[in-house]
Amino acid sequence: MDKAELIQRVDHTILTPTATWDQVREACDLAVAWHAASVCIPPRFVRRAAQHVGHTLKICTVVGFPNGYSTPEVKIFETEDAIRCGADEIDMVMSLGLAKSGDWEGVLREIRGVKASCQGRILKVIVEACQLTMEEKEAVCRVVSMSGADYIKTSTGFSTGGATVEDVALFRRLCSPELRIKAAGGIRTWEQAQAMIDAGADRIGASALLPPV
C-alpha cells in the first residue's frame, strides 16, 4: 500500500490536554491537504473545526476520554453535544471498571446507548487493550461485535501501552466481519502503520504520520 492510500485510513490526531486552537487548526489543514480519513480532536474544538473545514474533512472527537469511567448518561450527553457541534465520528472509551467486574451486559448497554445517540454517525469503541487480560479481550470482542458499534479501537494513547500487531490480529480473528478495527497508540512510522493494516486494521489513529505540506 502506498503512502497516499495509507493516509486515507489515518485519523490525524491531536488530543493533548494543552492543545490550542492554532494547533488544532494546523492539524485540520494538514489532514485536508493529505486527504486523511478524519481529524480527531478534543470536544471543545469541534464546532470551530467543523466551521473551519466545511465539508472537506470528517471531524472525529472523543467521549468519556481518556479514562472511560463517566456514567452512560454523561457519555450520551457528550455524544449528543459533539454531534450538535458538527462531529462526524465518535470515539468513546469503554468502562474498564465494568469490564474488570465482568459486567459485560453493562458494557453492552452503555455502548448501545451511545450508538443510538450517534444518530447514524460512526462510533468507535476504545477498549484500552493494554489493560485487559486475554480472557477480557476475547469477551470484549464479542460484546463490541454485538453492540452495533462500527469500530473497535485498541487504545487511547494515554495508558500504559498502545496498539500492538498481536492485538489487532486477535481482534480481527475474534470480532464479527462487520466490525472494523482502529489501531491507535504509539504508531509513529509508516512501517508500524503498514504492519497494523496487514494485521487487519482498517483505520489508524496517529499524531505524527502526516508529513508537513
Q: What pLDDT, on the 0 to 100 scale, is given for residue 130?
A: 98
Percent of the chain's residues with pLDDT above 90? 97
% of the chain beyond a pLDDT of 70: 100
132 domain-assigned: yes
- Burial of 148: CB neighbours in 10 Å, binned 0-12, 13-18, 19+: middle
Residue 213 lies in a domain: no
CATH number of the domain encompassing residue 47? 3.20.20.70
- Does the residue 211 lie in any domain? no
Decide if 24 contacts 41 (C-beta within 8 A): yes
Residue of 91, 115, 124, 167 marked active site: 91
Catalytic status, residue 91: yes
The yes-or-no verdict on residue 1 having pLDDT over 90 is no
pLDDT at residue 213 greater than cutoff 90: no
Model confidence over 172-201: pLDDT tens digits? 999 999 999 999 999 999 999 999 999 999
Domain that holds residue 108: 3-206
Q: Is 58 a catalytic residue?
A: no
Instruction: Tell whether 188 is covered by a domain.
Output: yes
Catalytic residue list contains 11: no
Backbone CA torsion sign across 141, 147, 149, 150: positive
| Residue tagged active-site, from 88, 150, 153, 167 | 153
Is 18 inside any structural domain? Answer: yes
Q: Is residue 102 part of a domain?
A: yes
Q: Is the dihedral of CA 99, 103, 109, 113 positive or negative?
A: negative
| Res. 151: pLDDT tops 90 | yes
pLDDT for 7 equals 96
* Residue 65 forms part of a structural domain: yes
Nearest Cα neighbor of 99 from 164, 41, 147 is: 147
Question: Is there a domain that residue 129 lies in?
Answer: yes
Number of domains in the chain: 1
**Is cis: bond before 66, omega within 30 of 0?**
yes
Element (H, E) at 41: strand 38-41
Question: Which pLDDT score, from 0 to 100, does residue 163 have?
Answer: 98
- Identify the residue with better confidence: 207 or 212: 207
